[in-house]
Amino acid sequence: MKVLMFGWEFPPHILGGLGTASYGLTKGLSMQPDMQITFCIPKPWGDEDRSFMNIIGMNCVPIAWRDPSWEYVQERIGKCMDPQLYYDLRSHIYADFNYMHVNDLGCMEFSGRYPDNLHEEINNYSIVAGVVARQQDYDIIHAHDWLTYPAGIHAKQVSGKPLVIHVHATDFDRSRGNVNPTVYSIEKDGMDHADCIMCVSELTRQTVINHYHQDPNKCFAMHNAVYPLAENLQAIVNQRKPASERKEKVVTFLGRITMQKGPEYFIEAARKVLERTHNVRFCFAGSGDMMNAMIELAASYGIADRCHFPGFMKGPQVFECFRDSDVYVMPSVSEPFGISPLEAMQSGVPSIISKQSGCAEILDKCIKIDYWDIDAMADAMYSLCTNPALHQYLQEEGKKEVDGITWEKVGVKIRALYEKTIEKCK
């Protein structure tokens, strides 16, 4: 089976959870021997892992006829794409795009990030996708997140193949209900055209059904998974000091400090814990628009000496943070999935997560609370810090549970859905 996928981010150059999820999902899917995946991203850096699939950089796809020499193409884009593919794609240019801003290879430049002119970039991405869709041979189209929905629709219209869209988040989660009409219309358009909608959780599925008015029969919950820790990360985690040497307990919040993640509930709970006990520290790893407000709130409660704001963490730093933590808390108000509790549990840190997060649907060996229930949150933090038995149980069982959530299993489920969708669209 051949799949044409449209994505926006891909490791190692990632900006959020979408890249990690895209990687895991494609890798899990590629475990099946007859699966061929072509993954389109706006701007490859050349150091992506291509061992299990083809990557097409949208900034290397010509949309206007130019006639450079093989050597020149090799020199310019050789590290990202085979020159032959460039020429093959060139033969499928479907309209005259010379009026667009193209370079000497007839390609468009992409930032590959989330720039201010994001809508223009999305549109350009969809134009280029038209060329790819005409040239490639595939059975099904799979588009990740709203940025690539227009490209998916375009490919579907060109090829007539079924379109699967993957909803990693909706604008309802990001904005707590105050949606951006442009984004909403792109999302809705993508969903209307899709033959199958995969949502990262039942929570997201319900949003898609209720707020985007989609047919429940074509919406499916497809939970994310995690990859076993890489060796270097495992080595970091293994440096965890034994409980006897840890005098103070550390409770960690990790994520963007924004309204969606509910940091204020974390502070309220921290205050309650600190009224009772003094050997607990609270760590806010991350940055965001509410950071200053949170620092002020902590100061106004007189607990600033116990609350720490180390700022944004990336890559191995995240695991260094987990290594030194005793409890991980994700009080998200609305979280489509939320991969970080899984990473925390992998690192042996018991987690407290809000019931309003997608990962709560597949996790059992963690404490689930309502994000607004600060009493329950404080109680859970206190209990994990003072009861070694509970801590030990959740540490061991949590790790076991997360180790059982693999992308390979998700891959099998996706494959089954692909087949069902293809059958349905025949």
- Which H/E stretch holds residue 250? strand 249-254
CA angle 218, 15, 189 (to 5 degrees): 30
Residue 397 binds other proteins (CB under 8 A): yes
CA separation for the pair 198, 13 (Å, rounded): 24
Give 24 or 398: the residue with its C-beta nearer to other proteins: 398
CA separation for the pair 364, 300 (Å, rounded): 36
CA separation for the pair 193, 152 (Å, rounded): 9
Give 84 or 387: the residue with its C-beta nearer to other proteins: 387
Give 93 or 369: the residue with its C-beta nearer to other proteins: 369
Listed ranges 108-116, 124-132, 337-345, 390-398: which one lies at the site for other proteins (CB under 8 A)? 390-398
Residue 399 binds other proteins (CB under 8 A): no
Strand boundaries in 206-248, DSSP class E: 219-221
Count the residues of the shown chain that bind other proteins, applying the rule CB under 8 A.
21
Residue 392 binds other proteins (CB under 8 A): yes
- Given 259, 304, 390, 425, the residue binding other proteins (CB under 8 A): 390
Give 234 or 392: the residue with its C-beta nearer to other proteins: 392
- Taking CB under 8 A as the criterion, which residues in 346-385 touch other proteins? 367-368, 375-376, 378-380, 382-383
Give 65 or 393: the residue with its C-beta nearer to other proteins: 393
We find the least distance from the C-beta atom of residue 382 to other proteins, in angstroms, to be 4
Contacts 24+ apart (CB under 8 A), 99-102: 100/63, 100/64, 100/124, 100/127, 102/63, 102/64
Nearest CA-CA partner of 66 in 104, 97, 110: 104
Residue 197 binds other proteins (CB under 8 A): no
Give 89 or 273: the residue with its C-beta nearer to other proteins: 273
Give 49 or 275: the residue with its C-beta nearer to other proteins: 275
- Given 272, 399, 409, 420, the residue binding other proteins (CB under 8 A): 272
Residue 401 binds other proteins (CB under 8 A): no
CA separation for the pair 180, 183 (Å, rounded): 5
**What does each C-alpha distance from 113 to 24, 48, 119 come to in angstroms?**
20, 16, 12
Amino acid in position 72: Y
We find the least distance from the C-beta atom of residue 274 to other proteins, in angstroms, to be 11
CA separation for the pair 278, 385 (Å, rounded): 11
Site string for other proteins, 274-313 (x = CB under 8 A): -xx-------------------------------------
Nearest CA-CA partner of 18 in 7, 29, 28: 7
Q: Which residues bind other proteins (CB under 8 A)?
A: 272, 275-276, 367-368, 375-376, 378-380, 382-383, 386-390, 392-394, 397
